[in-house]
Amino acid sequence: MKKLLFIVFGFCLILFSCQINQEAKIKEVAKNYLEAVGNYKFEEGRSFVTDSSQIVIDRMVSIVKVMSEEDKEKNLPVEIIIKQVTIDKDTAFVNFDTKSPLYTHNGNVYLIKQGGGKWLVDLRKTFPKKTKKQS
């Protein structure tokens, strides 16, 4: 009986440690993405998003191009604080705070697990397409 209890306890411990490891990976990807984009390092940020999210990065780049260097520098550095991670199978929801010299913002990003277990930010879910209300 003790042997069975030990096996069950060991299995639960392994599952718990795997969950902790997944959460750490998700936090790392989300934080790296948010810090890169928040500090105008869009090319670095590209490596943390899905292929279908690249167009959103392109739009961010085009918006920031019209900003003066002075305006950009006023907003730096940006600090990201991950507040909560919720995992549901191959998707994750990350709640975070962004702090900069000009503002504090609370937001969310969604991540999906790609082949090979790699987690990436999915900007299609983070910024869903708005649809018109039907009358």
Q: Looking at residue 135, what is its pLDDT?
A: 46
Mean local confidence (pLDDT), 99-126? 90
Who wins on pLDDT, 116 or 107?
Answer: 107
Inside any domain, residue 135: no
The structural domain count of the chain equals 1
Inside any domain, residue 134: no
Q: Looking at residue 57, what is its pLDDT?
A: 95
pLDDT tens digits, 14-47: 555 555 588 999 999 999 999 999 999 999 999 9
Distance of alpha carbon 98 from alpha carbon 108, whole angstroms: 10
Distance of alpha carbon 114 from alpha carbon 121, whole angstroms: 10
**Three-state SS across 122-135?**
CHHHHCCCCCCCCC
Mean local confidence (pLDDT), 98-125? 90
pLDDT above 70 covers a percentage of the chain that reads 79
pLDDT above 90 covers a percentage of the chain that reads 65
CATH number at residue 117: 3.10.450.50
Distance of alpha carbon 63 from alpha carbon 122, whole angstroms: 20
Enclosing domain of residue 29:
2-126
pTM of the model: 0.79
Q: Looking at residue 14, what is its pLDDT?
A: 53
